[in-house]
Amino acid sequence: MSANIKDVARAAGVSTATVSRILNNVGPANEETRRRVRAVAEQLRYVPSALGRNLSTRRTDAVGLLLPDLYGEFFSEVIRGADQTAQDHHYHLLVSSEHSDRSEIIAALQMMRGRVDGLIIMSPHIDVQALNVNLPRGLPVVLLNCNIAGDGYDAIDIDNVGGAHQMVAHLLMHGHRRIAIIKGLENNNDARERLRGYREALREAGIDLDPAQEIAGDFSEASGFKAVVDALAFAPRPTAIFASNDSMAVGLMRGLHESGIAVPQEMAVAGFDDTTIGHYLTPPLTSVHVGISELGSQAVTRLLDQVQHKANHRKQHSLLATTLVLRESCGCIHKDPAPLAPIGGEGKEIVSRLSESDNHTTHP
Amino acid sequence: MSANIKDVARAAGVSTATVSRILNNVGPANEETRRRVRAVAEQLRYVPSALGRNLSTRRTDAVGLLLPDLYGEFFSEVIRGADQTAQDHHYHLLVSSEHSDRSEIIAALQMMRGRVDGLIIMSPHIDVQALNVNLPRGLPVVLLNCNIAGDGYDAIDIDNVGGAHQMVAHLLMHGHRRIAIIKGLENNNDARERLRGYREALREAGIDLDPAQEIAGDFSEASGFKAVVDALAFAPRPTAIFASNDSMAVGLMRGLHESGIAVPQEMAVAGFDDTTIGHYLTPPLTSVHVGISELGSQAVTRLLDQVQHKANHRKQHSLLATTLVLRESCGCIHKDPAPLAPIGGEGKEIVSRLSESDNHTTHP
DNA sequence: CTGAAAGCGCTTACAG
DNA sequence: CTGAAAGCGCTTACAG
């Protein structure tokens, strides 16, 4: 097999301590010895093994990323942002996914022991109790979109309430008064928060909430399609529909199309998530953009701060700001500019897709 | 910090060897001792650290995945397939990406030393030479879409030639005789192979190749858009255009739309990759489907075969079969069925999107 | 400037 | 059935 540090030491006529010091550029060393050791290492193609080093230093230079799933662009963007930032700090990324139930998550948590210096956890199925019990003591952790209260952990969440609020406020500002929402499932936290943002915005505008305008959905394209029936059932009809995710907006638009209702002329439509397909729909979909890679990136940054400044790291909950991406489906602009080009503004809620925000608000 | 094996041994009044044997269910053990050790371990919340175990066993139970990039669904699907299969075999996945040049790849290769039991490499920038020199001797490796000849390594590639051939043959069968292609860049291997498949199919049908029908492109949406000019320049016009990836097909369809040319009535369009957007275009895009998660999954399977049967593992190059997904843009069917539902067949090239193929052809 | 030695947390022949 | 001991490949005080 490959050479180890002893082989190098022997061949260079020095101790392994010296080899280690020289190759790690730590401590003093005679210039001649340095040269010799380097030459020998090169010649034997010696590369230090993480096995020994990790055990010896009790560090792995790796961070773990626990995801509930690996389907779709949401998770791939999280991974991308996390990997990017991890690499910038010379850390590796251990990815783990598909933990559908509690016991699988617990198993995953334990597998991480000795493999990573810190852990980013994204899971709707975990509770503080389970974390406290199963997490190796002292392992730095950042919770992503976990909807966990309490301040024992660092946490970053998507500003669902703010995003939905922003979108509905935008529709209100453009004259809409009857705005329906297609909800997600009751037990889905994102869904509940988006509904809350919708209600808040209406209330602030002095508009009475109408239960008939809150249409059931489950974040699936099919449920968006079916929502059309409900949306058109009541008179007077809503003039705008806010689908609380893009998938439902896709189904909704298909349904409206089949019902012969023109978007945005007869019905304004907006989504949430700003997934790639929104851009390719006809008409292109107005949506709430979430900087998902930013979520992964911030998580790693926060995690490494814990790892590196363990003592005086200050734990906090923060929210990832969302931005509005206006396209044709809401009828508030006239033309969708070229892909990814800025959209002209006429108010502070009008933003470009390019301006990836890295702000986050600290929760009290 | 957390308890280690010594703490458990001490508390249970046995040696660490006994603790190890009992917790790993290896070797004999007195039932009473077993119970006691288990109880103590549970009580101390002892979870063995991979640090010690890895060094001791010289295994990491992890496989590395080296990717050139992390943007888009292609890579996320590779990761998903790989992670799924790795997990099925109780292995972990170490992901590494963004290695744009040779030296970064080499650094990445070395970082893997001692961290993984095997490596899946997907990189257009690597050559056999660099691999031979920088890979730890004896480390199992699988090359993915690397376009590397020679049989020193296990390799899996996408059947670009076959996929393009299939698609063009389909268009021919439906009466098209003037079929244009939008090519990718000359230095892109996928692009070259798809062009080859296109030419083969035409030649087999006895149709003379016409350089004017081979339009320049670079796999970008913009280049597909610009290709419209060339496609319409010559008389008689082609009746079908095969964009050698989906992005270009998207630009192409936008361009045709702006030129007032109806798809598929006046021009049949087909793509390659079967990315998600194809489904949402108007009309939906006919394309060549590549089972990308399957690529990741097969790579892990092959890799673990090497890891586990080092001695008599047989290295081979194989191709991942592609399938045709027919939608409205090629004009050969009349209606796009519900998402992901099977499409009725009228020949062996007509396939459903559900029938994810796991066949692969062994290269001689 | 350099080396001998201990240690990181485990596993595994080898004795008994 | 169980334990003492060596060892995996490194790093790091501690002497000198």
Measure the CA–CA gap between A17 and A335, rounded to whole angstroms. Answer: 68
Distance between CA A326 and CA A323 in Å, rounded? 10
* Nearest residue to D3 via alpha carbon and C1': B15
To the nearest whole Å, the CA of A286 is away from the closest chain B CA by 16
- How far: A58 CA to D16 C1' (Å)? 29
Give the tens place of pLDDT for each residue, B11-28: 999 999 999 999 999 989
Q: List pLDDT tens digits, range B211-221.
A: 999 999 999 99
Chain-chain contact of A54 with B49 (C-beta, under 8 angstroms): no
Buried b (16+ CB within 10 A) or exposed e, A59-78: ebbbbbbbbbebbbbbbbbb
pLDDT in tens, B96-121: 987 777 888 888 888 899 999 999 99
* Contact assessment for residue B163 and residue B197, using Cβ atoms and an 8 Å cutoff: yes
Which nucleotide lies nearest residue A113, CA to C1'?
C9
Q: HSE (CB half, 13 Å, CA atoms) of A360?
A: 24
The answer to whether B114 contacts A45, with C-beta atoms less than 8 Å apart, is no
- Sequence-ordered list of residues with C-beta below 8 angstroms from that of A26, at least 6 positions apart, any chain: none
Flag if A60 and B71 touch (Cβ within 8 Å). Answer: no
Residue A32 has pLDDT above 70, yes or no: yes
Q: Residue B302's closest CA among B81, B131, B136?
A: B81
Percent of chain A residues topping a pLDDT of 90: 70
User: For A62-70, what is the mean pLDDT?
Assistant: 93
The average pLDDT across B175-198 equals: 96
Which one-letter amino acid corresponds to residue A197? G
pLDDT over 90 at A339, yes or no: no
pLDDT value for A364? 27
Retrieve residue B311's tokens: 């001695």
Mean pLDDT of chain B: 88
pTM of this structure: 0.86
| Position A332 pLDDT exceeds 90 | no
* Predicted confidence (pLDDT) at residue A350 exceeds the cutoff of 70: no
Confidence of residue B123 (pLDDT cuts 50, 70, 90): confident
B30 touches strand C (CB under 7 A): no
Three-state DSSP state, B317: strand
The torsion angle over the Cα atoms of residues B215, B216, B219 and B224, rounded to 10 degrees, is -60
Count interface pairs A-B at CB distance under 8 A.
141
Interface contact flag, A50 B133, Cβ < 8 Å: no
- Least CB-CB distance to B95: which of A72, A93, A136? A93
Find and give the residue nearest to D10, measured CA to C1'.
A52
Looking at residue A11, its amino acid is A
pLDDT of residue B191 exceeding 60, the answer is: yes
The CA-to-CA distance between both ends of chain A, in Å, stands at 56
B356 confidence band (pLDDT: 50, 70, 90) = very low
How many angstroms away from the CA of A190 is the closest CA of chain B?
A: 23
Percent of the residues in chain B that have a pLDDT greater than 90, as a whole number: 70
- Pairwise CA distance, residues B165 & A10, whole Å: 59
Give the model's pLDDT for residue A8.
96
pLDDT at B1: 67
| Span B60-90, pLDDT tens digits | 999 999 998 898 888 999 999 999 999 999 9
Q: Which residues pair with B143 in a beta bridge?
A: B121, B155
Burial of residue B251, with CB atoms counted within 10 A of its CB: 0-12 exposed, 13-18 middle, 19 or more buried: buried
Q: What is the per-residue pLDDT for B350?
A: 36
Shortest CA–C1' contact from A27: which nucleotide? Answer: C1
Residue-wise pLDDT for A73-109, tens only, equals 889 999 999 999 999 999 999 999 877 778 888 888 8
Å from A118 to nearest chain B CA?
A: 14
Model pLDDT, residue A131: 84
Instruction: Give the pLDDT of residue B151.
Output: 72
